[in-house]
Amino acid sequence: MALTREPSGSLASTYKEAKVRDYWGRRPSSLRRPRLLERLYPYVFDNPARGRSFLQEFFAVSPEQLQDPFFSHSVRWGGGIRNLAFLSPEYRSCLSGYDPCEELARWLPESFAGRDLLCRAQVLEIELFLAGFLLSSQGDRVAMAHSVEMRHPFLDYRVIDFAFRLPAHWKMRGLQEKYFLRRACRGLLPRPIVSRGKHPYRAPVDALFTAAAPADYVDELLSGQSLKASGYFDADKVARLYRRVAEAPRGAVGEFANMALMGVLSTEILHRQFLASSSYRGGRKLRPDLVRYGAARKLDGRDSGGGTAPP
């Protein structure tokens, strides 16, 4: 059994990136804007030219974007939309006319748009990220695979109720996240621990795709034969991207290219392990409409039930 601080970030803080982008949009002539990037990501500036260029592009915002109810997350979603270009023509045609933001808006609380920036960011992070990814993919599944049971004190309903009632300035003071949690731990933990900044862990994605990387399964899964067999991606586009990433010097490839290639590779692994596996072919297939969020709806004359679908 293990005690974990997750999901203290989702309950006790709300997201410096959204706050900085909001400041950039409201004060476009401010001389303090570039300095905020260095305070946010001091570890990115090992290569100052590349780091600053990427971050300035990431945080660029126009005044009209400030009215977007999904402002806090839209910049990341925009990066993900670029990956659709690598889908095969058949799968791109399946998505034509579909807007996930419209579906998302239908099952969010009616009061969502009227909440403050940090509260909206918190709602989106909890609904889209907390249960299915942070607690499941990165938490319970990994732990239980090694016979470890997780305990989450920050998921106690009394802690959650208290955290949701706090005003935004208690969750984040300036760019300091988890402000009230740090205050609560004064005298309980050494000062360097209470006051230290956040440094996220990052997987060495680019190392997986270099020519020297000993990952023979990558070549096999990203081969034209494998990609055409699964049918999800445009094999020629992926091949060009893989070649460019593999031949580039270490650190010279941008975040978009690395993550796009990782998305393709992860999809191929899942397809190979589950959908193409003979042990899973006889399983009952779920209909997508039955696992969507939203109100009750009729499917083929049957009532699918209402409320929120299980993650």
- Which of the pair, 37 or 195, is modelled with greater confidence? 195
89-145 residue pLDDT tens: 999 888 888 888 888 888 888 888 888 888 888 888 888 888 777 788 778 888 888
What percent of the chain has a predicted confidence (pLDDT) above 90? 9
Closest CA to 250 of 212, 221, 215, 202: 212
Closest CA to 123 of 18, 257, 37, 217: 18
Mean pLDDT of the chain: 76
pTM score, whole prediction: 0.70
Distance (Å, whole) CA 93 – CA 244: 27
User: How many residues appear in the chain?
Assistant: 311
Which positions ≥6 away from 20 have C-beta within 8 Å? 36, 37, 40, 59, 175
In contact, 222 and 264? CB cutoff 8 Å: yes
